[in-house]
Amino acid sequence: GAVVSQHPSWVICKSGTSVKIECRSLDFQATTMFWYRQFPKQSLMLMATSNEGSKATYEQGVEKDKFLINHASLTLSTLTVTSAHPEDSSFYICSAEGAPQILYEQYFGPGTRLTVT
């Protein structure tokens, strides 16, 4: 149990366009979802935390107008990279926390590789 999927697994887009990444909890309800970004050969950096039905909380230095996060249901959160630029190219990973809940545990999606040309 506790499977998290992401779609798409990879995407290439042109500079200036917007890209939406979906994160779904397949067999549990995710009350909280997290979005991470990982640059090549670097660690995962938390971008934002979202709770179902409320606004996301962004980490310092993350532009909320550029990285739009929506957590409209207990099984789906979306990250939209608006007006993407080559420096936004990265590996985006989501994670979800919820029932069946093991306290402090997050279940990770497989990641989405974004390349902006």
Partner 1 sequence: AQKVTQAQTEISVVEKEDVTLDCVYETRDTTYYLFWYKQPPSGELVFLIRRNSFDEQNEISGRYSWNFQKSTSSFNFTITASQVVDSAVYFCALSANNNDMRFGAGTRLTVKP
**Comparison of 14 and 41: residue with beta carbon closer to partner 1:** 41
**Comparison of 45 and 82: residue with beta carbon closer to partner 1:** 45
CB of 19 to partner 1, least distance (A): 17
Sites of contact with partner 1 (CB under 8 A): 32, 34, 41-46, 49, 91, 93, 95, 97, 102-106, 108, 110-111, 113
8-state DSSP, 86: G
Q: Residue 99's closest CA among 49, 46, 44, 52? A: 52
C-alpha atoms less than 13 angstroms from C-alpha of 1 in its C-beta half-sphere: 10
CB of 36 to partner 1, least distance (A): 8
Query: 17 — alpha (psi -120 to 50), left (phi > 0) or beta?
Result: beta
Angle, CA of 93, 62 and 67, to the nearest 5°: 60
CB of 30 to partner 1, least distance (A): 12
**Comparison of 61 and 103: residue with beta carbon closer to partner 1:** 103
